[in-house]
Amino acid sequence: MAESRPPGGGAERLRMLADLVSDGEVVVLSGAGLSTESGIPDYRGETGRRRRAEPMTYQEFTGSAAARRRYWARSHLGWRHVAAARPNAGHRAVAELQRRGLVAGIITQNVDGLQQAAGAHGVIELHGALSRVVCLACGDRSPRRRLDERLRAANPGWEERVAAARINPDGDAVLGEAETGAFRVVDCERCGGTLKPDVIFFGENVPPARVRDCYALTERAGALLVLGSSLTVLSGYRFVRHAARHGVPVAIVNQGPTRGDEHALVKLDAPLGTALGGLLAELGA
């Protein structure tokens, strides 16, 4: 299946990757690049550079009612885009590797739920999930679809009056101040507190217990396979460093350089769907 091999003379590196994965006990660390082929842009890859995205920070969200109104207005439209996205060949390949017993665990930096939608299980959502909403006052978690229904009811006709220019990686649409200013935000149904998507915002810390679970999983791994992450932020990069310190081989598949390249035993610069399709072909049935 030569057509499934990554371009640019990567056949030898693909065979090296297949040899590494075939030993099993692989832990996958996935980033936004795994979901770009599903139409969800990333912040630091090519789609992110084209958008010059500026994500909402935790401090801005919690400190300003106007910022929350702006966020929820944009997110209310953008959520449709994320909810409609479907797993791509890369997501399905990871699920297939897990089905074959080669993947011992999956850590994802993505908040789109596409890895689970492709059939993967036991996924650690490092940065949470857009499909849930959490109350900052009482901690109650509820489905995003319920909030979507409430926001529609609170803003009749609003969607028909606005037009989104583009969608950002955190599932919000880019709108002007005039469009967001008229949007009405709803509060927690249980206590009336402030609602926030159940994701880790920029400037917010990942829960320590979740980080410990990821460290433990990395230490036990036969190999750490990084998929579609530039590893620019410490949140994911720390697990590459942890693997290297514990003698766990690191393999990286990503379009463009990453912060972790110096630790990689194998590095493939290729589209994720192509590379992982080629990996499955190398491994055989």
Query: What would the DSSP string read from start to end of 216-235?
Result: HHHHH-SEEEEES----SHH
Asked if residue 168 belongs to a known ligand binding site, the reply is no
Pick the CATH number of 2-283 from 3.20.20.80, 3.30.70.920, 3.40.50.1220, 3.40.50.300: 3.40.50.1220
Confidence (pTM): 0.88
The predicted pLDDT at position 268 comes to 96
Q: What is the mean pLDDT of residues 85-110?
A: 97
3-class DSSP state of 208 = helix
Asked if residue 195 belongs to a known ligand binding site, the reply is no
pLDDT in tens, 54-65: 678 999 999 999
Q: Assess contact for 75 and 167: CB atoms under 8 A.
A: no
Q: What is the mean pLDDT of residues 137-152?
A: 96
Mean pLDDT, all residues of the chain: 89
Asked if residue 228 belongs to a known ligand binding site, the reply is yes
Q: First CA to last CA across the chain, in angstroms?
A: 13
Asked if residue 115 belongs to a known ligand binding site, the reply is no
Percentage of residues of the chain with pLDDT beyond 70: 87
pLDDT band at 46 (very low <50, low <70, confident <90, very high): very low
Asked if residue 188 belongs to a known ligand binding site, the reply is yes
pLDDT in tens, 251-285: 999 999 999 999 999 999 999 999 999 999 999 96
How far is Cα 185 from Cα 68, in angstroms, rounded to an integer? 8
Asked if residue 17 belongs to a known ligand binding site, the reply is no
How far is Cα 70 from Cα 72, in angstroms, rounded to an integer? 6
Q: What is the mean pLDDT of residues 169-185?
A: 75
**Is 109's pLDDT higher than 50?**
yes
pLDDT band at 161 (very low <50, low <70, confident <90, very high): confident
The predicted pLDDT at position 259 comes to 96
How far is Cα 77 from Cα 75, in angstroms, rounded to an integer? 5
Which residues are catalytic, by number?
127
Which of the two residues, 71 and 51, has the higher pLDDT score? 71
How buried is 271 (Cβ within 10 angstroms: 0-12 exposed, 13-18 middle, 19+ buried)?
buried
pLDDT in tens, 183-215: 999 999 999 999 999 999 989 999 999 999 999
Asked if residue 134 belongs to a known ligand binding site, the reply is no
The predicted pLDDT at position 50 comes to 41
Q: What is the mean pLDDT of residues 169-196?
A: 84
Q: What is the mean pLDDT of residues 73-100?
A: 93
- If one counts every other C-beta atom within 10 angstroms of the C-beta of residue 230, the result is 24
In the block, residue with structure tokens 């994802």: 108
**Is 119's pLDDT higher than 60?**
yes
**Is 177's pLDDT higher than 90?**
no
Q: Assess contact for 103 and 28: CB atoms under 8 A.
A: yes
